[in-house]
Amino acid sequence: MSSNVDIPDIKGKNTAVKFDLKSVLKKTVDAFRNWRILALVIVLLFVVSVVFAVWMFMKTRFDVKNLNDRSLELYNLRNYNIAVLNWNNFIREEIVDMKNLDELIDYNIKLEWMSQNFEEYLHGIQSSYDNFLKYLFLPSLNLWKDPYLWEIDYNLMWNKFLEKNSYNDIDLIDKWSSFIKDLWNNNEYNEVERIEVWDITEEWDEFYIPIKISYITPSYRWFLLLIEKLAVTSNKKNISLINELVYNLWELIKEESSDEILRLQEVYTGFSQDQVIWYTLYKWVKWDIDNSIFINDEVIEKAIKRISICSEDEPDEYCYYKFRDKYRSLPGIAYTIWLEDNKNKLESLKDFFQTMPQIMKIINFTYNGEEVKDLVNYTQKQYKWTIDFRIYWEALHDAEVIEIQQLLWWMCLWVDLTPQNALTQVNSKLTTIWKDTSIDTYTTTRLMEIESLISEISNVFDGLSNYKKAIRTFEIYRMLSEWNICN
């Protein structure tokens, strides 16, 4: 007999229990592992925090100590210690009541403003010299370059160079012999016995040529006339008077010719107002170009009255007298443009500038008197004088020599036209023609002569003055150009 009895699946139940224990165990192990990681992170954060706290503590302690050490400086930020400034004679009266730093800053701003205005004022005062008179007082040795347009005349060679160059011995002897000899428009003149012109001597940014002249004056009056002539540019007071006259002319031109100045600024692009004025005056003096657009007799009369400090109620005769008295050491001005009835003051002023010598320095005067007899046995006293003096120019600067070399580079070699580069080009030409049997021996001989000449220049080039360097550079350019050695 059989019966149906449900028997539980004990094996399956054990299996389920076993499965649950594994899961719990796995979770426990995972939790333990996560706790270790968390603990490690917490420990690391704690260590970093401790280190940071220690660093901040040390830094704070150091900063506090440093601030305590500099407490006086911090105090001075509020109440500035200006004791050291009390020793300055220029500002101690100005800062006597100052304590606050802001007051000193405001005072410094005021000083900067005053300094800027003063510099602008000085610039205006010096404008007549910087833009005009220096080209008359100290002509540049760089005769190839226009002082205003900055253009270099690379064709200034051969006869053209000799015509423009006033520094060669013949021109210097002729100019300064005439300067000593001719003093007035009459039959008398000084007799030049001997003249010596020495080599150029460079001195900083200037150079001079020593000249020694022995001459005879027919009378003591003629000697005094020569002294007045020499004193025009060798006396500091006279130079100052000339500058004052030109400065007042400049002021009047700016006041009365503003429209014309603006028009010329459009013609001479890049020129300032001052450059336009002075370039126009320079052309008037040097090249006799009409300057009536800027200056005329009326402008000169106004300048005379300003210089004489004449009031409106003073008569013109008195103003002219004061001007003549002030400029009596410059007869070329005092006894020409000062005359009220002189209807050509403009021409008289131009004559003065054109005949005015450049800056000179008198070194020595020696005198020896003697009596001579003329054809009718008339006894007369002559005055024998010897004068040593220097005439000055503005020197040629290193940058100007390089500028000339670079210009001639563009004209010839495509590299700076130095003696060494020129030699390289000549040697290259010789190497080429030696391979060409059709070249005649005359061409080869001439090239070898040029090579020898340039080699001689190269050997002494570094020891030459900048003026002679410029001359040698043009000589090299001429030789290369004439013999088609340029690229």
Q: Which of 156, 139, 143, 151 is nearest to 474 (CA)?
A: 156
For helices 297-308 and 316-326, angle between their N-to-C axes, nearest 10 degrees: 70
- What's the distance, Cα to Cα, between the start and end of the chain in Å? 135
pLDDT digits (tens, 9 = 90+) for 153-172: 888 877 777 777 777 778 88
What does the block give as tokens for 1? 């007999």
By the 10 Å C-beta count (0-12 exposed, 13-18 middle, 19+ buried), 340 is classed as middle
* Residue 385 and residue 197 in contact, taking contact as beta carbons nearer than 8 Å: no
pLDDT digits (tens, 9 = 90+) for 119-156: 888 888 888 888 899 999 998 888 898 888 888 888 88
pLDDT digits (tens, 9 = 90+) for 220-269: 778 888 888 889 999 999 999 999 999 999 999 999 998 999 999 998 88
* Residue 443 and residue 484 in contact, taking contact as beta carbons nearer than 8 Å: no
Would you write out the chain's pLDDT as a tens digit for each of its 487 residues?
444 444 444 444 444 444 456 665 666 666 666 676 777 777 778 888 888 888 888 888 888 887 777 666 655 555 555 666 667 777 777 777 776 667 777 888 888 898 889 888 888 888 888 889 999 999 888 889 888 888 888 888 777 777 777 777 788 888 888 888 887 666 567 888 888 888 877 776 678 889 999 888 877 778 888 888 889 999 999 999 999 999 999 999 999 998 999 999 998 888 989 999 999 999 899 887 766 688 888 898 899 999 999 887 888 888 888 998 999 899 888 888 766 666 788 888 998 998 899 999 999 988 776 555 554 545 566 778 889 999 998 888 889 999 998 888 888 878 888 888 888 888 888 887 766 666 667 778 888 888 899 999 999 999 888 888 998 999 898 888 888 888 6
Would residue 150 be called left, alpha or beta, if left means φ above 0 and alpha means ψ between -120 and 50 degrees?
left
Helical H runs in 70-157? 71-78, 101-128, 134-137
By the 10 Å C-beta count (0-12 exposed, 13-18 middle, 19+ buried), 411 is classed as middle
Is the pTM higher than 0.85? The answer reads: no
Which residues partner with 215 through β-bridges?
Answer: 192, 385
Determine the Cα–Cα distance for residues 126 and 134; give it in Å rounded to an integer.
10
